[in-house]
Amino acid sequence: MFLKFHADRIFTGDAMLHDAVLITTPDGVVQDIVAPGEAGDGVEHHGGIITPGHINCHCHLELSHMKGMIAEGTGLPRFLASVMKAPAADTSAKLQAMTTVASEMHAGGIQAVGDISNHTLSLQPKIQSAIHWYNFLEISNLDDNKASFKLAMFDKMRREFLRYFPSTVLSPHAIYSVSPETFRLLNQYTADHTITIHNQECKAEDELFQYGTGDFLPFYQAIERPVLPITVSGKSSLQTWLPWFNQQQRLLLVHNTCTREDDLVFALDYAAQAGLELYFCLCPGANWYIERKLPPIEMLMQYNCHIVLGTDSYASNRQLSLVAEAALLKQQFPGIADDVLLRWMTSNGAQALGMEAQLGSFTKGTRPGVVRVDDDFSNAQRLL
């Protein structure tokens, strides 16, 4: 017995088909896509678009308990300070929030998540979840002399994650929170891995490395680092940190809100020379929440960049729905075609996380999940 899903449009992960029927096994293994006249009996009819399960390439599940706690529009340095100073929640409240949010994301059509972890607390909610998890164990360390210790500590945590999740890697937080020696060691440690980094989320990030000035200086003082801990390079943050990597990594650059054309040209040229693969992860809901700004999407598209989508966390977003992120982009950039947005949400994301063999498309034999999306991207409903 097979399940048969009909819709006005079916997005396969690569192409948009009109008036077609998707056929799967009861547990979701894709068998075929056929014309309605070839499907036989027992077809479920749906409006909107049927898509593979969505791939959320950037999330902080650990911050699920912080919904509504941080003011909007403060700018990144003040946002970071607010997160660090937020009242502590007890462990049971954090675990319950993570469990609830993981279920919410899955019900909303998210099949896999690239998640930032700073400790092991998220392990149990993830083990219980139906979502596929790619765990980025995020290192922040401003002291070169502590770099080896930090990597050893996070490598121990990685071994705990690996008991349940083979897709677990160490990753740097951001250029403003990682010392040169930490970057050097991470480059060697992550050869041939998929890793992630927060990139150019605000203007102050570039100003810090170009001139040694800006809104990050009060942030450093607030965390008792009165002396600038990282050398001013005279270059943008992206042009400062990217050359630390040269070991065939696949890099997910997250946010890119203030990336300029010269940064993009530099990054693409350097990646080609160094054997790196770059994916640009956009989290428009979080960018608007924190900075009241959206990334240069049309420029990224002009340069044929690999684009994927993320939600960030409830500390910086009102919702954790990938279709809502796409709806925001559809509203602000109406020229972006539906199939392009859906590709960013599905097959591109699966490729970025190295999960394309099973997720992100309706390729025969895969089990990507089945989701119905409204034509205007206002809602998503999991069908399987």
Q: With 90 as the cut, is the pLDDT of residue 82 above it?
A: no
pLDDT, tens only, 242-257: 999 999 999 999 999 9
User: Mean pLDDT across the chain, nearest whole number?
Assistant: 96
Q: Please tell me the pTM assigned to this model.
A: 0.97
Query: What is the distance of C-alpha 196 from the center of its chain?
Result: 9
pLDDT, tens only, 54-77: 999 999 999 999 999 999 999 998
> What does the alpha-carbon distance between residue 292 and residue 285 come to, in Å, rounded to a whole number?
9
Work out the average pLDDT over 115-143: 97
Which pLDDT band, with edges at 50, 70 and 90, does 17 fall under?
very high
Work out the average pLDDT over 142-159: 96
Do 63 and 82 form a contact (C-beta atoms < 8 A)?
Answer: no
Which pLDDT band, with edges at 50, 70 and 90, does 223 fall under?
confident
Q: With 80 as the cut, is the pLDDT of residue 229 above it?
A: no
Which pLDDT band, with edges at 50, 70 and 90, does 219 fall under?
confident
Q: What is the pLDDT of residue 195?
A: 98
